[in-house]
Amino acid sequence: MDKLTVMVAVVLAGGFGIAGWQFLQPAAAPTGHSMTPPDISEVAEGAPIAEVSLPEELSGNAQLGKKIFEAKCSSCHGQSAAGQNGVAPPLVHKIYEPSHHSDMAFVAAAQNGVRSHHWDFGNMPPVEGVTPGDVKMVVAYVRELQRANGIE
């Protein structure tokens, strides 16, 4: 046998050996985020899910966002975005921190609705009658609430 044939055979045998070894290893646990919702089984139906501390003052954009939130969002997400058990999640929660849900994720959710993926409240429908600019003001309000509650 020539050297090239031996080298090809060794490389192939090594590749099959590594592939077989990996196949026989136990499956790794799925990787994903660690953003799990809290246990809310003891929270009364319709009651706030989060305890929200209010900032001393809001910026101008957040003040406008608060008004829009109260008109369009609070019926589901509760007063001060504390959520309502059985209805909708709190937006003042680590799950919605900027590094996990960007400002644009809020805009997309309001425009298009969003499939349930963290909480078991069902899918969120699109929010009628709000513009992307309105949602950006709501996001300013939510982010200021989050910062006041240690969510950066």
pLDDT at 88 over 70: yes
Q: What is the pLDDT of residues 46-72, one digit of tens each?
A: 999 999 999 999 999 999 999 999 999
On whether the pTM is more than 0.85, the answer is: no
Q: Residues 20-24: what's their mean pLDDT?
A: 57
Which helix (DSSP H) or strand (DSSP E) does residue 111 occupy? helix 103-112
pLDDT at 20 over 80: no
Q: What is the pLDDT of residue 11?
A: 64
- Residues 123 and 133 sit within 8 Å (Cβ to Cβ): no
- Percentage of the residues of the chain whose pLDDT score is greater than 70: 80
Q: Does domain 1-151 have CATH number 1.10.760.10?
A: yes
Domain ranges within the chain, ordered by starting residue: 1-151
Q: How sure is the predictor about 32, in pLDDT bands with cuts at 50, 70 and 90?
A: very low
pLDDT at 149 over 80: yes
